[in-house]
Amino acid sequence: SSSSSSSCVPRVPRLRRGAASGDAGGTASASASASKGKEQRRSAGELKKGSSPRQLIDLQPPRGTRDFFPEEMRLRNWLFDKFRHVSWVYGFEEVDFPVLESEQLYTRKAGEEITTQLYNFEDKGGRRVSLRPELTPSLSRLVLQKGKSLQLPTKWFAIGQCWRYERTTRGRRREHYQWNMDIVGVSSMEAEAEVISAIIDLFKLVGLSSQDVYIKISNRKLLQSLISTFGVSSEVFPQVCVCVDKLGKIPREAICKELVDLGLSAEVSDRIVGLVAEGTFEDYKRALVEGGSDESNLEVLKEIEGLLDILAARGYEDWIQFDGSIVRGLAYYSGTVFEAFDRDGELRAICGGGRYDHLLSTFGGKDQPMVGFGFGDAVIVELLKQKNLLPQLSPQIDDIVVSLDPALQKYTGQVASKLRSSGRRVDVVLEQKKMKWVFKQGDRTNARRLVILGQEEWERGVVKVRDLAEREEREVPIDDLV
């Protein structure tokens, strides 16, 4: 009948409709088309078979960079949580800035090693830009952007990725994440003591003691006073700092030669390098006094002693040590400088910082007293690994929701949503799987419970909840599920 025929339309081939209308040419055309299609498919297959396979791309990240699989991300998040916790208990507020900045932020001071390590280029608009090699200039830009509206003192922290094109070694990569804490608007040594205390509290938080790490403290003005006493022009002071900062990285003779190339005599160069490399606080004091330094040059000794006294009063005496070799390679440091190291001396500096009261004027702004530090993620992880202090972090799921009946699969999302709305972390089995697989998934994710949808239970408005630790199972009404 016609009604029967119309109900079966999807099963009626177009070819038969053409033949039924008496179109013999339609049949021939369809046959030729089918034959042509087969030839095209065969031709394509032959071409694919004969062509060379596409070469697999290099699956490794660019040299000096890292991928973060879930296990690495768990560790990174754990460390960043420690950074944020310390910043929070110290009353600092978090800020952030673009990873891409104007190149001008980093090229104001010639002679710095960092200017040769920039990932810099010209963008499509003709602007010179750079991936940030550090966070302090970006923070300074924010301070200037706020201008007089900035409430002082300001305490900010940031965690961001930094890029430097340099030789990769243990604990040194071409990208790293850095934690910064900075105080703006405080000129007293209490500001230095505060950020150094934060570093020590971070060390304690991750399980390190003063037997594992310590912080070397000095003052850029100490070296400045020293070369002034030796009759060296202050104009070459930034370059002298860059040279001296290489102590321990290249031979002392090479540093002396660099100083001579700057115009210092061989005798003065040798005295400076010798004192910086091995001099005690008393040796510096003696050199300044014997050299006839004026009162202003001796003032720096009081600054250093004052900071050491404040830190001792905070109970951190075992964590700190004077070391005149700490000068920091960045030209903007103007006073206190410090770096943290492992006691065994096997790793490069864990972190470093100091006072930079004159940085804002290099960007055309009004200077403010500023103190801060940068703390990278790479060296601290190496140290914690070496000390067996890295936590064993596994995935953690509260509930796995699984359906035993394909007809109930669409309701697994509804059950999961109810659990998630109460703050639970829920993994839904998205395909029909055997319970053996589900239990293995529970082991892999350290799941606490299985929430099982069965046809008979669902019709009664309940689900089965299995506690994987206690190996107990009970029925729970869907409305009561939490």
List pLDDT tens digits, range 174-185. Answer: 899 999 999 999
Helices (H) and strands (E) in the chain, counts: 17, 16
Q: What value does the mean pLDDT take over residues 232-242?
A: 80
Residues of the chain with pLDDT > 90, as a percent, come to: 61
Give per-residue pLDDT as tens, 76-119: 999 999 999 999 999 999 999 999 999 999 886 545 677 888 99
Structural contact between residues 370 and 184, judged by C-beta atoms closer than 8 angstroms? yes
Q: What value does the mean pLDDT take over residues 215-228?
A: 88
Residue 263: closest CA among 226, 230, 236, 245 = 236
SS3 289: helix
Mean pLDDT (the chain) is 86
**213-219 and 320-322 as β-strands: parallel, antiparallel, unpaired?**
parallel
Residue 13, pLDDT > 50, answer no
Q: Is the dihedral of CA 285, 291, 295, 297 positive or negative?
A: negative
Q: What value does the mean pLDDT take over residues 310-316?
A: 97
Q: What is the pLDDT of residue 231?
A: 78
Q: What is the pLDDT of residue 285?
A: 83
Q: What is the pLDDT of residue 281?
A: 86
What confidence tier does 462 reach under pLDDT thresholds 50, 70, 90? very high
Q: What is the pLDDT of residue 96?
A: 97
Neighbours of 403 (CB within 10 A): 24
Q: What is the pLDDT of residue 5?
A: 38
Count of residues making up the chain: 482
**C-alpha distance from residue 301 to each of 284, 313, 322 (Å):** 9, 18, 11
Give the contacts of 168 (CB within 8 A, at least 6 positions apart).
Answer: 63, 64, 174
Give per-residue pLDDT as tens, 360-405: 998 999 999 999 999 999 999 999 999 999 999 999 999 999 999 9
Give per-residue pLDDT as tens, 332-367: 888 999 999 999 999 999 999 999 999 999 899 999
Which DSSP string do the residues of 322-383 spell out, in sequence order?
E-TT---S-TT--SEEEEEEETT--S--SEEEEE-TTHHHHTTS----EEEEEEEHHHHHHH
Q: Is the dihedral of CA 195, 196, 198, 199 positive or negative?
A: positive
Residue 327, pLDDT > 90, answer no
Among 20-29, 80-89, 240-249, 287-296, the minimum mean pLDDT is found in 20-29
Q: How far apart are CA 131 and CA 176, in angstroms?
A: 12
Q: What is the pLDDT of residue 112?
A: 63
Q: What is the pLDDT of residue 460?
A: 95
Among 54-68, 227-241, 253-267, the minimum mean pLDDT is found in 227-241
Q: How far apart are CA 195 and CA 180, in angstroms?
A: 10
Residue 168, pLDDT > 50, answer yes
What confidence tier does 316 reach under pLDDT thresholds 50, 70, 90? very high
Encoded amino acid at 135, one letter = L
More confident: 330 or 117: 117
Encoded amino acid at 92, one letter = F
Residue 82: closest CA among 328, 447, 389 = 389
Residue 465: closest CA among 456, 455, 478 = 478
Neighbours of 247 (CB within 10 A): 16
Q: φ and ψ at 251, to 5 degrees?
A: -60, 150
Q: φ and ψ at 88, to 5 degrees?
A: -70, -45
DSSP H helical ranges for 9-103: 14-20, 24-50, 70-89
Ramachandran area for residue 87 (φ above 0: left; ψ -120 to 50: alpha; else beta): alpha
Among 16-20, 288-292, 333-337, the minimum mean pLDDT is found in 16-20
Tokens 């405080």: give the residue: 186
DSSP H helical ranges for 422-464: 435-445, 455-459
Q: What is the pLDDT of residue 23?
A: 44
Q: What value does the mean pLDDT take over residues 190-216?
A: 98
Tokens of 34: 């089918």
Give the contacts of 115 (CB within 8 A, at least 6 positions apart).
Answer: 106, 107, 109
Q: What is the DSSP letter of 185?
A: S
Q: How far apart are CA 399 and CA 394, in angstroms?
A: 15
